[in-house]
Structure 1
Amino acid sequence: MLSALEWEALGLSLQVALWATLLSLPPAVGVAWLLSRTAVPGKALLEALVHAPLVLPPVVVGYLLLITLGTRAPLGRWLKEHLDVQLIFTLQGAVVAAAVMSFPLMVRAIRLSLEAVDRGLEVAARTLGASRWDAFATVTLPLMLPGILSGCMMAFAASLGEFGATITFASNIEGETRTLPLAIYTATQTPDGDALALRLVALSMVLALGALVTSGLLERRTRRWLGRT
């Protein structure tokens, strides 16, 4: 049986991962479309910015969030004063950190799926009178579904394991931002915390592997449903 501390860390991790995935999905689809189907100025720069969290140290990403969205930063101060929204040292901040770190994985999966869609089908829909949006919603989007599901599961799994950006931006606050990775770190710094750390590691591995297996199953079943092997 899990202890109250373990249940708390598990619940916070699932909340962060779920909200990070849901909030990332709409912009991820839009960015994937821009990178795949348009020739907007500065496309190379946009692609570099999108994928930067993959190569930057997570602590650097967390620090950039801190100086951008912290209460002393212009944007963070504006959010606090006008919308009463404080991201630093909050669960919402942990969601933002996880979303930023997992965003490139989601964009990449969706983009690869989009690039595999036969553009001739979109052209055919347009010649039959469908608007650009109708062609996207009825032809392109369903064919992108395997990549969207795969991207969501990959982002969910990555959010479950996010540590560096979260601890830098949202801190390690028990009951508020102490997700599983942070709880593991705390246990390793606590005398006689080895047993707790080992249980949390095992729990994290089960969740991550479960998300990856689910991702593969969903992608294969969706491809079969769409008639694509």
Structure 2
Amino acid sequence: MSHVLRMAALEPGASSGTLLEWLIDEEDTVTAAAPIATVGTAGATETVISPAEGVFRRQFVTAGESVPPGTPIGVVAVPDETIDDCVAEAQQTLEDIDTHARDTSMPNRTVTASTDGGLSGQLEAGSFAWRYDEPAEYGGTETGPTPVDIFLGGLAACLSLSVRYQADKRDVAIGEIAVTTTATPDHGPVETLEATIRLETDADDETVDHLVDLAERGCHVSQLLRAEYGPTINWERGETTT
């Protein structure tokens, strides 16, 4: 049986991981759980191990290359097994990832909000863009979520990824993860903030409690809420039109 090795999700929200070093060469024999490569990000390092006994038949990613989580990096199979279909599928995945990377660019934690009038505008983050607005009763036109809604979405997304990361790291089987964040009142200064995490899992309560606690502490958006510092605000003059 052939096994496709993939880049791990090394940190919550990490868009890529780097293959730091191959520990074996193509056609080397490996035992189950033998170390094959080391991968990492700026904040985490992990060893890729062989899922079974066999031969390291194919390498897709070179040392020093950074790829998204889930990207095929190699194949382990028994010596005489035909792996053409497995390799073709992996190469198609690599081509799809390469095409997507050319068409999109990640914002690297830089987002620009622009508005030329009224209470609505556009957010731009890398190659992505979306509208923000206010309810009609408060002078908006309801063409997008409010700034507070967008913040709540960031918190919910970060918590969901953090829970998934902690569960995968500890081999806890979890299906869908849905996080709902709610702030009150529905307009004006926020007075209360609550997040409800719903998980499809048969894990016991103690395990889930531990996962959620680790996820909350590891969520970078949640960390901002606990930070004892505010943003540094600067201003600069833009060009005027005549």
Q: Which has the higher contact order (CA 8 A, sep 6+)?
A: 1
Structure 1 or 2: larger helix share? 1
TM over 0.5: no
Task: Provide the TM-score with structure 2 as the length reference.
Answer: 0.27
The structure with more strand, counted as a fraction of residues: 2
- Which is higher, the Rg of structure 1 or of structure 2? 2
